[in-house]
A = this chain, B = another copy of it.
Amino acid sequence: MSQVIELVPNFSEGVNEDIISGLVRLAQSTPGASLLDYSADSNHNRTVLSLVGSPEAIKEVAFNLIQYAKNHIDLTQHKGAHPRMGATDVCPLIPLKDTSIEECVDLAQKIAKRVGEELDIPIFLYEAAATAPHRKNIAKIRKGEFEGMADKIKEDKWQPDYGPDQVHPRAGATAIGARMPLVAFNVNLDTDNIDLAKRIAKIVRGSSGGFKYCKAIGVMLEDRQVAQVSMNMVNYKKTPLYRVFETIRFEAKHYGVGILGTEIVGLTPAEALIDSANYYLQTEDFNPDHQVIENQLLNDL
């Protein structure tokens, strides 16, 4: 099997089933690309697709999906819990197999250029594709959201990388970028104390002195009355799941609180779990590339 890139576009529509199924059908009908997963969330009013394919197929399907979203989603009518600035809000490319983050950056630039020129949507390159340090973080780019973007985009430091210097009246602006695979990993504490979840989130996240490649917030699962440490593990090779999990365990223990369970949301590379198995099973000299059959089968293709 040759190069595989993952594309995870986020669209600002999580309710209208015609539009959602239109996106899904488009994703499924592009030769060379496969839709692995999608989830539409009506609270967030947002749909997230996960596709994989060759660089060429990903370039094609990304443009087609962004075009479809522009034609069918109207941000002036959009309300939802999740912050957003565009019909296609963010569109990250992720190197999965026989490809590098640099190649994904290159591809992101090409998609951004075409979308900017042909669809009249201003594009911000973000994460590994960002053209300045202050534009790496999607939260900073998106601050002000769709409603504030018309003014923000006039500031020198928020000039788009591609496309027009003004926000599209219905489709807003879009961030396209490249990043490593991340794992959405949540730890449910045996308590309804949201403050404890927030305190532990602060302990483990990089931004406040914890693990560099862990992003974490404390949230309340209202239906279960369970406080949760909700995380994005943005580099599971350098900050492995088990290390953060064990840290949460011993920090919670300080307050006499145990762990109810954990959640992995959406897709994960096998490696993120195999690394943790190797830690707990105390394996000596285990080589996943070589010893895990699936890795060999994928390499042989």
Partner of A280, one of B6, B188, B270, B276: B276
Q: How many copies does the complex hold?
A: 2
A300 at the interface (CB under 8 A from B): yes
Residues of chain B within 8 A (CB-CB) of A96 are 293, 297
Q: Which residues of B contact A286 (CB under 8 A)?
A: 263-264
A139 within 8 Å of B (CB atoms): no
A284, B259: Cα distance in complex, Å: 12
- Let me know if A37 and B4 touch, CB within 8 A: no
What 1/0 mask marks residues of chain A from 259 to 296 whose CB sits below 8 Å from any chain B CB? 11111101111100110111011111110001111111
Q: A1-B301, A4-B297 are in contact. Are A270 and B274 (CB under 8 A)?
A: yes
Contact partner of A281 (CB less than 8 A), chosen from B4, B260, B262, B298, is B262
Distance (whole angstroms) from the CB of A90 to the closest CB of chain B: 19
Quick check: B270 and A294 within 8 Å, CB to CB?
yes
Chain B residue contacts of A6, Cβ below 8 A: 293
Question: Is A199 an interface position by the 8 A CB rule?
Answer: no
Residues of B within 8 A of A241 (CB): 277, 281
Query: What per-residue 1/0 map shows which CB atoms of A27-40 lie under 8 Å from chain B?
Result: 00000001011000
The answer to whether B296 touches A297 (Cβ under 8 A) is no
> Nearest chain B CB to A29's CB is how many angstroms away?
15
Residue A97 lies at the interface, judged by CB distance under 8 Å to chain B: yes
**Residue A128 interfacial (CB < 8 Å):** no
Contacts of A211 in B (CB 8 A): none
A242 to B300, CA, bound (A): 30
Number of residues from A at the complex interface, CB < 8 A:
48
Chain A 69-91 per-residue mask, 1 if CB under 8 angstroms from chain B, else 0: 00000000000000000000000
Point out which of A284, A290, A297 has the most chain B C-beta atoms below 10 A from its C-beta. Answer: A297
The CA of A301 and the CA of B294, in the complex, are separated in Å by: 12
Complex interface: chain B residues within 8 A of A284 (CB): 188, 261-263
Q: Write the nearest CB–CB distance from A106 to chain B, whole angstroms.
A: 22
Is the C-beta of A171 less than 8 angstroms from some C-beta in chain B? Answer: no
Distance, CA A13 to CA B122, complexed state (A): 67
A298 near B300 with CB under 8 A, answer no
Q: Are B293 and A181 in contact (CB under 8 A)?
A: yes
Question: Which residues of B are found within 8 Å of A276, using beta-carbon distances?
Answer: 277, 280-281
Which residues of B lie under 8 Å from residue A4 when comparing CB positions?
Answer: 297
Chain B residue at minimum C-beta to C-beta distance from A241: B281
**A88 to B294 CA separation, bound complex (whole angstroms):** 27
**A residues near B, CB below 8 A?**
1, 4, 6, 34, 36-37, 52, 96-97, 181, 188, 241-242, 245, 259-264, 266-270, 273-274, 276-278, 280-286, 290-298, 300-301
Q: In the complex, given contacts A1-B297, A274-B274, what are 12 additional A-B residue pairs having Cβ atoms less than 8 angstroms apart?
A: A1-B301, A6-B293, A37-B296, A52-B300, A245-B282, A262-B282, A263-B284, A266-B291, A267-B292, A268-B292, A273-B277, A277-B277
